[in-house]
Chain A
Amino acid sequence: MFTGFMTNAWLVGTIVAIVAGVVGFFIVLRGQAFVADAVPQGAFAGAAGASLIGVNTLIGLAAAALLGALGIGWLGRRGRRDVATALALVVLLGLGALFLSFSTEYAPEIYALLFGEVLGVSTSEVLPIVVLAVVSVAAIAALYRPLLLSSVMPELAEARGVRPARVETMFLIVVALATSMTLPVVGALLIFSLMIGPPAAARSVTSKPLAALVLSAVIAVVVVWASIAAAYDTNWPVGFFVGTFGAACYAAGRSWAALHGRRSAHPGRWHGAGDHGAGEHGVPAANVRV
């Protein structure tokens, strides 16, 4: 289980989990679950297109993910945000269907792109993933303060000279980067479970941003390790375990919050924009430390 080709699986799985946990924390905080769901699925079109013209899949993924993220930003400024996201997503998926119909790709390869194939990571794929991971985490670190401020207290952020539209665009680009590296491993349809399950659980356990961020990454790593081990043992698709364990994390977090009375509606707790649904920004809480 820990030898040969499995070494790559463990290594890449861990990196992917850390990035998903860190980026996912802000996705949950900003209430952008739909975007985080749409970008990877849209990126799938890029993979299909890349395999059609014979380019590296990773490049296709990154291009489509960026296109999707920027398209959502562009459309979202002109209309309803969730509608913009849905439209950008379906356009990319439509292109993906077109590319698939042109290519002679076998069904198993498409299945792997959609549902992940962590056990098939080759050594040559490790380096690009590491580079993208470092870039994503570095970008989050650089953006940490403005991102946190504009997610939690948009009015204050603006008063301090943070430009929400720019932070938004930068964040979407990071999501796109993180997506294109995680997609081949966990699959287009299930990255998203890894990006919101662990952060949601972490947020119900602690209200300190940095602690929640670290905890989120730790939970994501545990989920991925458990999923890889279970997939290795049962030979079932890794996506199944990631999806199930992700949901289990969320359920555990909710029960923890219920037991300890940490309801997100509790006054004085820090609120994210995500607590208030489709892009509305909430009541600023008093005791946030940024």
Chain B
Amino acid sequence: MLHAIFEPGFFSSGPVHVALAAGGVVALVSGIVGSFTVIRGQSYAGHALADISVTGGSASFLVGISPLWGFVGVGVLAAGVMDTIGIQRPRGRDLATGIVRGAGLGLAALFLYWDTTHSNVTGATITILFGSLFTISSSILPAIVALSVAAVAIVAVLYRPLLLSTVAADLAAARGVSVRLVGLLSLTAIALAVSLSAMTIGTILSTALLIGPAAIGLRLSSRPGLAMAWSALAGLAATWLGVLLAYDSFYWPPARHGWPVSFFVVTLIFVAYVAVQGFTTRVRRA
């Protein structure tokens, strides 16, 4: 029975350990930071930052630094640019986000082109865009954990002013909270979370883990702290189950080299969201 669920070797495989550790850390951070992203209505900024951090990833192959620093550096830089050209105002915010994303991806196109033509990094496009949890090297785990802690620390320090300036910006300003600074810092936290997840698990999953679990959490509880806990839990569960399923799928048809982790995680999150949505609507009606 147990063998039917856990393919033999699941618990003794090195790549699986790293995937579970890195995926777990990233899922927790995305769940926590994602709650604020959804409350603040910055889903699009989160998605765009994940895409833009790809620019850093593709550039890092060119200059020969670790992709981690490429992803994170460009992600945080883009957060600063977005904030400067007006993301803090709801007016025209999506437009500014989109423009930065377009320019960033244009550069990514160029870098990836150079990657594939000049430096012979074959498959860079796929690795960078879709990521693979099973190919992470365990040597970058400490850096991932450190940056994750930084992102969570920003959210923890900002918890009250961030919540206040999200729900009632005028009141926050009256109480002496710098709404602008809080906005910039929260965007930095989002950038950290998504660039980490974009690097470890690909840009698709990074948006999925940022928004999906947070949306589930906010459905389950209207208290921000509790919603955040649900969100982190949902993200972690989806990621670990996804890794397990991907490992089990190794002998599944048609390709027999395993189905992608991202597919499983995204599907699990989506099914959970639809289920929770249906459930909470029914409970509220009753």
The answer to whether A and B belong to the same complex is yes
Q: What is the bound-complex CA distance between A196 and B100, given in angstroms? A: 11
The chain A residue with its CB closest to the CB of B281 is A78
Which listed residue (B109, B122, B269) contacts A239, Cβ 8 A?
B109
Chain B residues with CB under 8 Å of A236's CB are 110, 113
The chain A residue with its CB closest to the CB of B254 is A102
Given A97-B262, A107-B126, A277-B94, A89 and B47 contact (CB-CB distance below 8 Å): yes
A68 contacts the other chain (Cβ, under 8 Å)? no
In B211-233, the 8 Å CB interface with A consists of 211-212, 215, 219
Q: What is the bound-complex CA distance between A95 and B267, given in angstroms? A: 9
On whether the beta carbons of B43 and A107 are closer than 8 Å, the reply is no
Chain A residues with CB under 8 Å of B123's CB are 107
On whether the beta carbons of A111 and B125 are closer than 8 Å, the reply is yes
Q: What is the bound-complex CA distance between A74 and B188, given in angstroms? A: 32
On whether the beta carbons of B109 and A240 are closer than 8 Å, the reply is yes
On whether the beta carbons of A82 and B266 are closer than 8 Å, the reply is no
B102 contacts the other chain (Cβ, under 8 Å)? yes
Given A94-B262, A277-B94, A250 and B129 contact (CB-CB distance below 8 Å): no
Residues 180-204 of chain A, each 1 if its beta carbon lies under 8 Å from chain B, else 0 = 0000000101101100110010000
Given A37-B44, A114-B125, A240-B110, A90 and B98 contact (CB-CB distance below 8 Å): no
Q: What is the bound-complex CA distance between A190 and B105, given in angstroms? A: 7
The chain B residue with its CB closest to the CB of A38 is B47
On whether the beta carbons of A275 and B41 are closer than 8 Å, the reply is no
Residues 109-123 of chain B, each 1 if its beta carbon lies under 8 Å from chain A, else 0 = 110110010000011
B208 contacts the other chain (Cβ, under 8 Å)? yes
Chain A interface size, as a band, is: 35 or more
B260 contacts the other chain (Cβ, under 8 Å)? yes
On whether the beta carbons of A196 and B99 are closer than 8 Å, the reply is yes
B207 contacts the other chain (Cβ, under 8 Å)? yes
A80 contacts the other chain (Cβ, under 8 Å)? yes
Residues 81-109 of chain B, each 1 if its beta carbon lies under 8 Å from chain A, else 0 = 00000000011111101111111111111
On whether the beta carbons of A243 and B102 are closer than 8 Å, the reply is yes
A100 contacts the other chain (Cβ, under 8 Å)? yes
Given A190-B106, A246-B102, A111 and B112 contact (CB-CB distance below 8 Å): yes
Q: What is the bound-complex CA distance between A148 and B120, given in angstroms? A: 50
On whether the beta carbons of B125 and A196 are closer than 8 Å, the reply is no
Which listed residue (A85, A87, A108, A278) contacts B116, Cβ 8 A?
A108
Chain B residues with CB under 8 Å of A79's CB are 215, 219, 277
B157 contacts the other chain (Cβ, under 8 Å)? no
Chain B residues with CB under 8 Å of A110's CB are 125-126
Chain B interface size, as a band, is: 35 or more
Q: What is the bound-complex CA distance between A149 and B270, given in angstroms? A: 34
Main secondary structure of the interface of A (DSSP, over half): helix
Which listed residue (B94, B110, B258, B260) contacts A31, Cβ 8 A?
B94
**Residue in A36, A108, A189, A277 whose Cβ sees the most chain B Cβ within 10 Å:** A189
Q: What is the bound-complex CA distance between A96 and B129, given in angstroms? A: 12
Chain B residues with CB under 8 Å of A111's CB are 112-113, 116, 125
Chain B residues with CB under 8 Å of A275's CB are 91-92
Q: What is the bound-complex CA distance between A152 and B172, given in angstroms? A: 31
Given A78-B277, A239-B109, A91 and B270 contact (CB-CB distance below 8 Å): yes
A28 contacts the other chain (Cβ, under 8 Å)? yes
Given A87-B212, A277-B90, A190 and B102 contact (CB-CB distance below 8 Å): yes
B255 contacts the other chain (Cβ, under 8 Å)? yes
The chain A residue with its CB closest to the CB of B113 is A237
In A79-129, the 8 Å CB interface with B consists of 79-80, 82-83, 85-87, 89-91, 93-98, 100-102, 107-108, 110-111, 114-116
Chain A residues with CB under 8 Å of B43's CB are 34, 80, 82-83, 85-86
Min C-beta distance of B55 to chain A, whole Å:
10
Chain A residues with CB under 8 Å of B44's CB are 33-34, 37, 82, 85-86
On whether the beta carbons of A83 and B110 are closer than 8 Å, the reply is no
Chain A residues with CB under 8 Å of B101's CB are 37, 192
Q: What is the bound-complex CA distance between A121 and B265, given in angstroms? A: 36
B145 contacts the other chain (Cβ, under 8 Å)? no
Given A86-B43, A196-B102, A187 and B263 contact (CB-CB distance below 8 Å): no
Chain B residues with CB under 8 Å of A169's CB are none
A286 contacts the other chain (Cβ, under 8 Å)? no
Residues 25-64 of chain A, each 1 if its beta carbon lies under 8 Å from chain B, else 0 = 0001001111011100000000000000000000000000
Given A78-B277, A86-B207, A87-B273, A242 and B259 contact (CB-CB distance below 8 Å): no
7 closest A-B pairs by beta carbon, nearest first, are A243-B106, A277-B90, A94-B266, A193-B102, A247-B103, A33-B94, A90-B208
> What 18 new A-B contacts, CB under 8 Å, besides A93-B204, A192-B102?
A33-B44, A33-B97, A37-B47, A79-B215, A80-B41, A83-B215, A90-B205, A100-B260, A101-B259, A107-B126, A108-B116, A187-B109, A242-B106, A243-B105, A246-B99, A246-B106, A247-B106, A274-B95
Offer 13 A-B interface pairs, CB within 8 angstroms, sorted by A: A34-B43, A34-B47, A82-B43, A86-B43, A90-B205, A91-B267, A101-B263, A102-B254, A193-B103, A196-B99, A197-B99, A237-B110, A240-B106
